[in-house]
Amino acid sequence: MSPEVIFPIQLILGYAAWLPCVMAYGLPRLESMDRAAAQRAIATLHSFRFFGLVFVLPGVVGANLPGGFAQFAAYADFATGLLALLAVLTFKARRLFWFFVVAFNVVGAADILIDYYHAIRLGLPAMAGQFGAAYAIPVVYVPLLMITHGVAFYLLMRPSPSAAWSLAGNTTP
């Protein structure tokens, strides 16, 4: 099989493997947690996105990995990781925490979607070998990150239990 076929298959299978795992084990646990604690857990996972800087590290990735992909992916991942880390660190300062939770999810999801756009536009699947040692990032790690962004947005959009009780006319759950 050619790289143009292997890379997308592996990317799709990354989603196919992570989605049932997150839905069966991660989401029920996150839904049972306090809203802020659930977002902190997701932020902790995303705080490792500094690892995306590997895309601009010579010797780890191939010299022919397109700069139009590598630069944006590396620095947007880095920014997302810093925002997620700031969310973790400001957990007790709730207004700041929620700001950073929204920020890292918006920046992080946009990063992945734009990376997909760049990858398609630049024909990255044909040169997937240029990922070198970082090959596992797009096919194993990125699907988990995108799925957890979806979970984070889902949890952010869900009405809080206290809001539901207030709407029902009760003051305490």
pLDDT digits (tens, 9 = 90+) for 107-144: 999 999 999 999 999 999 999 999 999 999 999 999 99
Could you tell me if residue 24 is inside a domain? no
pLDDT of residue 3: 87
Alpha carbon distance 89, 121 (integer Å): 37
Could you tell me if residue 61 is inside a domain? no
Could you tell me if residue 22 is inside a domain? no
H or E segment and range at residue 95? helix 94-122
Q: How far is CA 111 from the centre of its chain?
A: 9
Could you tell me if residue 76 is inside a domain? yes
Domain range holding 128? 3-13+35-44+66-161
Could you tell me if residue 60 is inside a domain? no
pLDDT of residue 26: 97
Could you tell me if residue 169 is inside a domain? no
Domain count, the chain: 1
pLDDT of residue 170: 53
pLDDT of residue 160: 73
Could you tell me if residue 18 is inside a domain? no
pLDDT of residue 159: 84
76 touches 50 (CB < 8 A): no
Could you tell me if residue 153 is inside a domain? yes
Q: How far is CA 7 from CA 32, 120, 128, 132, 149, in A?
A: 36, 12, 7, 13, 22
pLDDT of residue 162: 60
Which stretches of the chain score pLDDT less than 70?
A: 161-173
pLDDT of residue 129: 93
